[in-house]
Amino acid sequence: MPCQRVVQASGEVKQARDQKPVPSIGTGFFEWFAAMTGIVYDDIYLRHDTGEHPESAERLRVITAHLKKAGLWDSLKRIAPRCATEDEIKLVHAADLVRRVESVAKGGGGNMDADTVVSEASYEVALWAAGGALNAVDAVMAGHASNALCLLRPPGHHATPVRAMGFCLFNNVAIAARYVQRKHGVKRVLIVDWDVHHGNGTQDTFYRDGSVMYFSTHRYPFYPGTGRRDEIGEGPGQGLIVNVPLPFNTRPETLIQEFEDVMKTKAGPFKPEFVIISAGFDAYRRDPIGGLNLEPEHFRTLTDLLKGVADASAKGRIVSCLEGGYSLTGLPLCVEQHVRALAGR
Ligand SMILES: [Zn+2]
Query: Strand pairing of 189-193 and 274-279?
Result: parallel
Q: What per-residue confidence (pLDDT) applies to 35? A: 67
H or E, element range at 109: strand 109-111
Say which CATH number the domain at 81 has. Answer: 3.40.800.20
Which letter does DSSP use for residue 23 in this model?
P
Ligand 1 centroid to residue 69 C-alpha, Å: 26
3-state secondary structure 177-207: HHHHHHHHCCCCEEEEECCCCCCHHHHHHHC
Residues in the chain: 345
Q: What per-residue confidence (pLDDT) applies to 1? A: 47
Cis check: omega of the bond before 21, within 30 degrees of 0: no
Distances in Å between the Cα of 112 and the Cα atoms of 14, 119, 312 are 30, 11, 41
Under a CB-based contact definition with an 8 Å cutoff, are residues 61 and 17 in contact? no
Ligand 1 centroid to residue 226 C-alpha, Å: 13
CB atoms within 10 A of CB 156: 31
State how many domains the chain has. Answer: 1
Ligand 1 centroid to residue 17 C-alpha, Å: 30
Ligand 1 centroid to residue 290 C-alpha, Å: 7
Beta bridge partners of 190: 213, 275
Domain carrying residue 327: 2-343
Q: What per-residue confidence (pLDDT) applies to 29? A: 52
Per-10-residue mean pLDDT of the chain, 345 residues long, equals: 49 40 45 75 98 97 98 97 98 98 97 96 98 98 97 98 98 99 98 98 99 98 98 98 98 98 98 99 98 98 98 98 98 98 96
Please, which residues have CB less than 5 A from ligand 1, an ion? Answer: 195, 197, 280, 282, 324
Ligand 1 centroid to residue 65 C-alpha, Å: 22
Q: What per-residue confidence (pLDDT) applies to 82? A: 98
**In 202-307, where do the E strands start and end?**
212-219, 241-246, 274-279
Q: Dump the DSSP string for 75-107.
A: GSEEE---PPPHHHHTTTS-HHHHHHHHHHHHT
Q: What per-residue confidence (pLDDT) applies to 11? A: 38
Catalytic residues: 158
Ligand 1 centroid to residue 193 C-alpha, Å: 10
Q: What per-residue confidence (pLDDT) applies to 26? A: 43
CA quadruple 318, 205, 6, 44: dihedral positive or negative?
A: negative
CB atoms within 10 A of CB 236: 11
From CA 107, how far away is CA 1, in angstroms rounded? Answer: 16
